[in-house]
Structure 1
Amino acid sequence: MDETAKYLIHAEITAAGVVERSDVVGAVFGQTEGLLGDELDLRDLQDSKKVGRIDVEIRSEEGSSYGEITVGSGLDKVQTAILAAALETIEQVGPCSAEITVTDIEDIRSAKRRAVVERATELLASFDAQAVRTEDIVETVRQRARVEDITTYEGLPAGPRVADSDAIVVVEGRADVLQLLQYGVKNAIAVEGTDVPEAVAALSRERTVTAFVDGDRGGDLILEELAQMGDIDYVAVAPRGRSVEGLSRETVMSALREKIPYETVAEADSAAAALDGTVAIGRSGSQESDAAAAVAGVEAEPPTSTAEPATAGTRSDTETGTAAEEAVDGDASAEAPTALSDHIDAVVGSGTVRLLDTDLSVRSEGEAADAVSLIEACEPAPQTVVLDDTCSQKVLDVAAQRGVEVVVATGEGEYVKQPTGVQVRTV
């Protein structure tokens, strides 16, 4: 096509026989010669560069030929339309009857304008994305400096302190290491998959190790592999269903502060369950049974709250408030649950629900099937709900409306939306 062309004529050709490109070009020149007068003679127009070369693509199938014709034109719109109409007068190509139909006259300048608009939009978006606001300069420089600190340890993505730190944080991938670097954690190393490298296993036997995993099945698998390959001291878990790389600074720091010993995780079904079900202190000051340690929602209680109930005559004169009142109530008070684990033991398997206030006293109790109505009617609103049933979306919604902080249930339902103010823990 000539560079001066302003329009492109697009046409389709069908021939009742096998023809070649040269046959089509010859037919175009031969059958339009003298048709439009000297001013629009096709050969003269090509010689004067007002019409470009005739491009033909032709193919033959089952004894017939099909193709496309493209002609570039530097004429005005009217003359280009006349030239296009002249192509449709061709009735024979070579020895075969043929038909040519003009499908489009394209304005090349409009196409170029569209391309200019699209490219300009891309350039503008790139320009805006790269712009740095004045108030972001300090934070941008700080984050880039931290990200540039990422190194490798035995070929694995790692923070700059991994090689010499007494403690390390083992995460899943490079993105997790980058995220922790942004928050100032420089002793993280990535395992890059569920196949734990020997370098990480060796480090785990020499350093204090915290495994910081995603709150999903993949995190559990990596934790299991780490335990088999090396030694883990502590476990931190992202919130259920979330990845370390997507956590905010506050959530990351909170998860690392709330890390738990690996032995607790080994006794539970999953890392998330173990984190939810912190082992309660037993009456003698030791940990409760393995089953209690794995129960989600058993909060660590101070030794005084789980001590063996005593009678009024055995308590010291310094004991006051609710605990002293319970002591003088006699045997019935001595049997009342003093820890969340006691309430869980009493509810699970009974088909009931208990609503507890801030000091773990029972506000209301009833059938598990009536949990929604009991939560709605309880005054004042309970702080904790212990339910011998699956925590459904309806239970979760009414708990959020009443300001309930914790729901302990035997299972979780399918949630469309989970309120952030309610912690759901499963037995």
Structure 2
Amino acid sequence: MGKTYIDTVKYTVYADFIVSGLVEKPDVVGAVFGQTEGLLGEDLDLRELQKNGRIGRIEVEVATEKGKTKGVIKIPSSLDMVETAIIAAALETVDRVGPCEAKIEVKKIEDNRNQKRKKIIDTAKSLLKRLIETQIPESREITDMVRKEVKASGVVFYGPEKLPAGPGIELADSVILVEGRADVINLLKNDVTNVIAIGGAKVPKSLVELSKKKEITVFLDGDRGGDIILKELLNGGTEIDYVARAPRGREVEELTRKELIKALRNKAPVNQEVGPSINQAEEKKNGKNSDKKKKREEKKEKEEVDDSPVEFSEEMFKEEIGSLKGRLKARFYNRDKEVIKEVSVREMLPTLQKIEGVKAIVFDGIITQRLADIAKSKGVAYVVGIKIGNINKKPEGMKLIAMS
């Protein structure tokens, strides 16, 4: 194929020809130029168009057979599709090549840009496939590497005891206390940076000082050890504001992001969260006799319990909550609407587990899921507080009432 001598080939005209005699390529080209000259005017004259670079070199392929010449004419064009079609139609007006009769028939006009588009699509597919196979796994590796680095490098050390902590510990107004370094790393991985580890059984002095300046939430594992740590912190002088707990039997370091957020949202004031297991441990020290006596009393009280429905008025609750507001006290009522016990909110849960015959509780605090569960197990019909916290499972047959 010869050189076209034009910058951009938009279309190529393909035409078959047959000549009743033996001719050469220059004879065919000369016939095309000669017999179309002046046919379409100056603007579409083949010679002028070729000089101006609007059409390329006319290419001819010839073959002889039985005294006749056959072949194909190719004309590259940078004209628009209409002008190219006119040039193609003009080829069919050529009826002689030299002294021999000839016939030219245009077979097709090929859009060269379609070939380029196909090549672009094929190349794009190849590049995309290569990208998916090589680049994406590399990106995953980078992501994993960065995530691991963040877990380790995000941990800083606080105070002379070098307690593992998050980088946001100094700037935050509130701080979350957890048991160990693994808990800190899990919280950092889930974008919680205002966290610090207790770092041992002995309460660090820097932690006590920190609790005097910031709002403190203790985030405990969902086991008995969490209650022991809470007791140690309180006895060690740590000023705790809220307590959050992992689900029962789970540890903070193994919680997912959703579980962490849910547990922190369900935090409760510390005066409501003195764990019953702590009190039970202290009771065991008093010997088995007290346990037996307690069981006898509970059995006797249960035998005397009346299971008929009990009704309390809203007016009564309003009056009682008004008298308790600001005092951090809790009152237990029997079915006769009599106060059978008044305790501090801090002692409410352990006292509720020991006492029987309670049908209503009115207290100056937030109703938590833990309180609702214990109250339900004790047969309480009404729990009235200042506010209802995040209750995921409301006990059936028990009313929770908020009276701010």
Q: TM-score, normalised by structure 1?
A: 0.36
| Higher alpha-carbon Rg | 2
Q: TM-score, normalised by structure 2?
A: 0.38
Query: Higher relative contact order at CA 8 Å, sep ≥6: structure 1 or structure 2?
Result: 2
